[in-house]
Chains A and B, each alone.
Chain A
């Protein structure tokens, strides 16, 4: 009995692995629901890229815009491993990868040559604002208080964020510092392993200020345990009583974005096909629902607009990290 039980579990598992790793691509006709595609996710299941990528795939599959979409999580070095694999699959016409600002930074901090500008840009999907968070009894009441104290003695202000060097929470305080005239190398940035540990550090007043996307902090903000001094986007965030940086007199707009790339060296028809596909995806109800559920800001852009944006981001990230001696 035990053996049959074990072998059943095994058989099921082997089947799963085979399905997950198989890459048989069959295209019998032009019917889009027969077309099979693969999507790479550069971090583990449950992470930001994973949620975005899988939401997009669900919207595509449920509306029969494509056949089965095979999603694989290629983890490692904050996305560098996945970018390297995308570069290696040059010319593959059935592959896309979800990525974002953090991956751009990781490629530089890991000194990899698989930079985003070498890939084929398809679409930018969403963006998220960064927020500047302080504990309830922080001496900083406004962003001006923070900037003043920071300019006074940069190293005395301890900044925490949920991403490793090169990630959005790391780039944001450094670009903010540069904007208000502080040498970015003087920023005392502490890396936390995501929103949970960062919340703990803020609530326990171990750090002075936290910079992060606000999704994971909604409970504490509503409760009054944490206060938001400012948000980083062009417009105020719904439900958050805080000015944008530009309203507060700091000339900086910073957003964490996510989008889709394809490997280099694919044909123009293939590029058009993929752009068309994600444009249709963007129109679906499922996608609009996913945006609302996750609090993502729609920032859909394709083709040349996304390409230009990607190039600008790439340069900005490279400059920031070079200044910090991290690339």
Chain B
């Protein structure tokens, strides 16, 4: 406790507070701009380590990290342009909410959810960091494969009302995920080295969401009376709070452990949180049209996972994300040796960092909550100009991923696919799941099988894997029983089709 207080003392000096502020603002900006993630921002900021002290630099970096996780939600909600792969799920419900005039509420639930998740995550760090042993490294490829399979199956059970369309989307996603040479063999690269690393998730997501929608709107602009987006209330109502707090907590519970696992990441918990909220909600009719639970849960999950990432970083010197890896190399450039001895050798610095995480989180809420109604007004820009702006952001985002014009061509190509998917009522989520989880699952499966020399029984050789497979079994049984009890809907009608009919 004394250590924590000392940490606060160090983090709350005016200079460090200023650096925290700077980091948070920068992080939010970076999160808002699609394509530039916190990892790239930190890499570009690395030279600051030459001129400021280690505590200030680390505190600023923590601010950038948390800010980036939060900022990504803003463009997801307002512009349907996810800035990071961890905020793709937010766009699903968040943007629909915005279109119904509830952008301010969506932004607010994202901000408050992020704050709560980040705070709980940081407190968990305070409690766990000094104690946790090497537990996190006990999980191997078999466990990760099982966890990914669980997310995968969980998402496929909510493919939407039309199974066929859901599977079409899923397999499209898996096919996109195959591109590259990650397995040592070139697949679908057409001999082009630019495709060797695969297609970046951000490019696909931005294309399908933003470009697809811009094309769709353009195709209907003349035929359809101009739809004014209602202004709506600026703040969250009583009902919104009531519907948000449980998803915030559940999202946190998903996010933190996944963040702490070396191959966990921030995407899987957002998927799981979305699926859970969709199952548990009292307003199932709103899902797909802007349900606040679908924003609150995933946003809490991705911030909690950012907090979780710090656990292996501080206890073992293990970076589990690109961002954490760069924070590590910043430490190294001060001659501070990350690793299991960090807590002992540099406990002042570690506690200052832990304190500053909470400060960064509070700053984020203070800065972003009042901005939510202002941001929401952005949607009152007339459609042609608004979508021109969205397209500009989409291109910028796709280009900055690798600084290659080639990605712009991919963006347009997938944009056309996104347009076609809207036209034929094919859901987006399964495609994104395929793109993100497909290659990861394959990677873990090949790793597990390569280590065991091709022995399949390795897949259930770890206790965590066995537990996860049991959960999958229960889930599948539940789905089967439900399916038998409830007659299938007479005609599969998707939202897009309904929209078509209504027009």
Chain A interfacial positions (CB closer than 8 Å to B)? 1-3, 6, 9, 13, 17, 20-21, 44-46, 50-51, 72-78, 80-81, 84, 109-112, 155-156, 158, 165, 188, 190, 194, 196-197, 199-201, 203-204, 206-207, 215-220, 222-223, 225, 293, 326
Shortest distance between the CB of A183 and any CB in chain B (Å): 16
A160 to B, closest residue via Cβ? B451
Asked whether, in the complex, the Cβ of A200 is within 8 Å of the Cβ of B318, the reply is yes
- Contacting residues, chain B, for A72 (C-beta < 8 A): 403
**Bound Cα distance from A80 to B447, whole angstroms:** 25
* Cβ-neighbour of A203 out of B134, B194, B332 (below 8 A): B134
**Bound Cα distance from A46 to B340, whole angstroms:** 22
Asked whether, in the complex, the Cβ of B402 is within 8 Å of the Cβ of A75, the reply is yes
Within 8 A of A (CB), among B376-408: 377-378, 396, 399-400, 402-404
B5 contacts A by Cβ under 8 Å: no
- Contacting residues, chain A, for B39 (C-beta < 8 A): 46
Q: Beta-carbon contacts of B33-48 to A below 8 Å, as 1s and 0s?
A: 1000001101110100
Asked whether, in the complex, the Cβ of A223 is within 8 Å of the Cβ of B450, the reply is no
Asked whether, in the complex, the Cβ of A190 is within 8 Å of the Cβ of B451, the reply is yes
**Bound Cα distance from A204 to B197, whole angstroms:** 28
B301 contacts A by Cβ under 8 Å: no
Asked whether, in the complex, the Cβ of B181 is within 8 Å of the Cβ of A190, the reply is no
Q: In the complex, given contacts A46-B42, A46-B43, A73-B403, what are 14 additional A-B residue pairs having Cβ atoms less than 8 angstroms apart?
A: A1-B374, A9-B32, A17-B400, A76-B402, A77-B197, A81-B194, A110-B193, A112-B193, A196-B319, A196-B324, A199-B316, A220-B340, A222-B339, A223-B341
Shortest distance between the CB of B50 and any CB in chain A (Å): 9
Which 5 pairs of residues, A with B, have the shortest CB-CB distance?
A: A219-B339, A45-B43, A77-B196, A204-B137, A46-B43
- Contacting residues, chain A, for B338 (C-beta < 8 A): 219
**Bound Cα distance from A110 to B340, whole angstroms:** 38
Asked whether, in the complex, the Cβ of A218 is within 8 Å of the Cβ of B339, the reply is yes
Asked whether, in the complex, the Cβ of A46 is within 8 Å of the Cβ of B326, the reply is yes
Shortest distance between the CB of A192 and any CB in chain B (Å): 8
A155 to B, closest residue via Cβ? B453
**Bound Cα distance from A74 to B262, whole angstroms:** 28
B362 contacts A by Cβ under 8 Å: no
* Cβ-neighbour of B325 out of A17, A77, A196 (below 8 A): A196
**Chain A binding site: helix, strand, loop or mixed by DSSP?**
helix
A20 to B, closest residue via Cβ? B403
Q: How many residues of B contact A (CB 8 A)?
A: 62
Asked whether, in the complex, the Cβ of B340 is within 8 Å of the Cβ of A197, the reply is no
Within 8 A of A (CB), among B395-437: 396, 399-400, 402-404
Asked whether, in the complex, the Cβ of A199 is within 8 Å of the Cβ of B317, the reply is yes
Shortest distance between the CB of A14 and any CB in chain B (Å): 9
**Bound Cα distance from A237 to B138, whole angstroms:** 30
26 A-B residue pairs with Cβ-Cβ distance under 8 Å, sorted by A, are A9-B29, A44-B40, A45-B43, A46-B42, A46-B322, A46-B326, A50-B43, A76-B193, A77-B197, A81-B193, A110-B181, A110-B196, A156-B453, A158-B451, A190-B450, A196-B319, A197-B262, A197-B263, A199-B317, A200-B262, A215-B332, A219-B337, A219-B339, A220-B340, A222-B341, A225-B134
Asked whether, in the complex, the Cβ of B340 is within 8 Å of the Cβ of A293, the reply is no
Shortest distance between the CB of A227 and any CB in chain B (Å): 14
Known: A190-B451, A199-B318, A206-B451. A13 touches B33 (CB 8 A): yes
- Contacting residues, chain A, for B342 (C-beta < 8 A): 219
B141 contacts A by Cβ under 8 Å: yes
**Bound Cα distance from A78 to B324, whole angstroms:** 21
- Contacting residues, chain A, for B316 (C-beta < 8 A): 199-200, 203, 220
Shortest distance between the CB of B72 and any CB in chain A (Å): 15
Asked whether, in the complex, the Cβ of B337 is within 8 Å of the Cβ of A218, the reply is yes
- Contacting residues, chain A, for B312 (C-beta < 8 A): 200
Q: Beta-carbon contacts of B459-487 to A below 8 Å, as 1s and 0s?
A: 00000000000000000000000000000
B54 contacts A by Cβ under 8 Å: no
- Contacting residues, chain B, for A217 (C-beta < 8 A): 339
Asked whether, in the complex, the Cβ of B339 is within 8 Å of the Cβ of A223, the reply is yes
B335 contacts A by Cβ under 8 Å: yes
A206 to B, closest residue via Cβ? B140
Asked whether, in the complex, the Cβ of A188 is within 8 Å of the Cβ of B453, the reply is yes
- Contacting residues, chain B, for A155 (C-beta < 8 A): 453
